[in-house]
Amino acid sequence: MCRIYQNQKGKVRYNFTCQLTLGGITKRVSLGTKDKSLAFSYKPDIERFELATRRDPDLTNLYWKKFYSLIGREDLIEIERAKNDPLFLDHFESWINQKYKMNLVCKNTYDTYLNCLDNLQYVFNRKHYLSDFSQDKYDELYGIWVDQGYKPATISIRARIIKAYFNWCLKRGILKVFPFPIDKVKIPERSPRFLYPDQFEKICNNANPIGEHYFRFLRLTGLRRFEVGCMERIDRNGKSWLRIVGKGNKERFVKLPKSAEIHYDVIKANPRVPNTLTQYFISASRKANVKARLHDLRHTFAFTQVAKGVSLFELQMMLGHSKSDTTMIYLKTDPDMLMDLVDNKSKLVDDSRVFA
Instruction: Examine residue 182 and state whether it is found in any structural domain, yes or no.
Output: no
**Same structural domain for residues 212 and 268?**
yes
**Domain range holding 25?**
3-84
Instruction: Examine residue 183 and state whether it is found in any structural domain, yes or no.
Output: no
- Residue after which a domain boundary falls, among 107, 137, 171: 171
**Same structural domain for residues 201 and 309?**
yes
- Residue after which a domain boundary falls, among 41, 58, 84: 84
**Same structural domain for residues 319 and 228?**
yes
Rounded-to-integer distance, Cα 343 and Cα 339, Å: 6
**Same structural domain for residues 45 and 126?**
no
**Same structural domain for residues 127 and 222?**
no
Instruction: Examine residue 356 and state whether it is found in any structural domain, yes or no.
Output: no
pLDDT at 89: 93
**Same structural domain for residues 266 and 293?**
yes
Q: Tell me, what DSSP letter sits at residue 239? A: E
- Residue after which a domain boundary falls, among 84, 99, 115: 84
**Confidence label for 272 from pLDDT (cuts 50, 70 and 90):** very high
- Kindly compute the dihedral angle of the four CA atoms of residues 337, 349, 212, 258, in this order, to the nearest 10 degrees: 160
Query: Sheet of 3-9: strands edge to edge?
Result: 3-9, 12-22, 25-30
**Same structural domain for residues 125 and 251?**
no
Q: How many other C-beta atoms can be found within 10 angstroms of the C-beta atom of residue 188?
A: 7
**Confidence label for 352 from pLDDT (cuts 50, 70 and 90):** very low
**Same structural domain for residues 244 and 311?**
yes
**Same structural domain for residues 202 and 251?**
yes
**Confidence label for 102 from pLDDT (cuts 50, 70 and 90):** confident
Q: Which residue has the higher pLDDT, 276 or 338?
A: 276
Instruction: Examine residue 186 and state whether it is found in any structural domain, yes or no.
Output: no
Degrees, nearest 5: CA angle 306-311-315: 75
| Average pLDDT along the chain | 86
- Please give the helix or strand (H or E) that residue 262 lies within, else none: helix 261-269
- The string of DSSP codes covering 65-114 is HHHHHHTT-THHHHHHHHHHS-BHHHHHHHHHHHHHHTTSS-HHHHHHHH
CA nearest neighbour of 304 among 335, 339, 341, 334: 341
Report the CATH number that the domain containing residue 302 is assigned in CATH.
1.10.443.10
The pLDDT tens digits for 21-64 are 988 888 899 898 999 999 999 999 999 999 998 988 888 878 88
Is the confidence at residue 351, as pLDDT, over 70?
no
pLDDT at 356: 47
**Same structural domain for residues 228 and 307?**
yes
The pLDDT tens digits for 225-262 are 989 988 999 988 888 999 998 877 788 998 899 989 99
**Same structural domain for residues 97 and 79?**
no
Domain count, the chain: 3
Rounded-to-integer distance, Cα 125 and Cα 110, Å: 21
**Same structural domain for residues 333 and 257?**
yes
Q: How many other C-beta atoms can be found within 10 angstroms of the C-beta atom of residue 212?
A: 19
Is the confidence at residue 76, as pLDDT, over 90?
no
The pLDDT tens digits for 56-72 are 888 887 888 889 889 88
Instruction: Examine residue 177 and state whether it is found in any structural domain, yes or no.
Output: no
pTM for the predicted model, two decimal places: 0.59
Residue 186's Cβ-side half-sphere holds a number of Cα atoms within 13 Å equal to: 1
**Confidence label for 159 from pLDDT (cuts 50, 70 and 90):** very high
Instruction: Examine residue 21 and state whether it is found in any structural domain, yes or no.
Output: yes
Instruction: Examine residue 188 and state whether it is found in any structural domain, yes or no.
Output: no
**Confidence label for 354 from pLDDT (cuts 50, 70 and 90):** very low
Torsion over CA: 130, 133, 138, 144 (sign)? negative
Q: Range with the lowest mean pLDDT among 75-84, 114-123, 319-328?
A: 75-84
Instruction: Examine residue 60 and state whether it is found in any structural domain, yes or no.
Output: yes
pLDDT at 334: 65
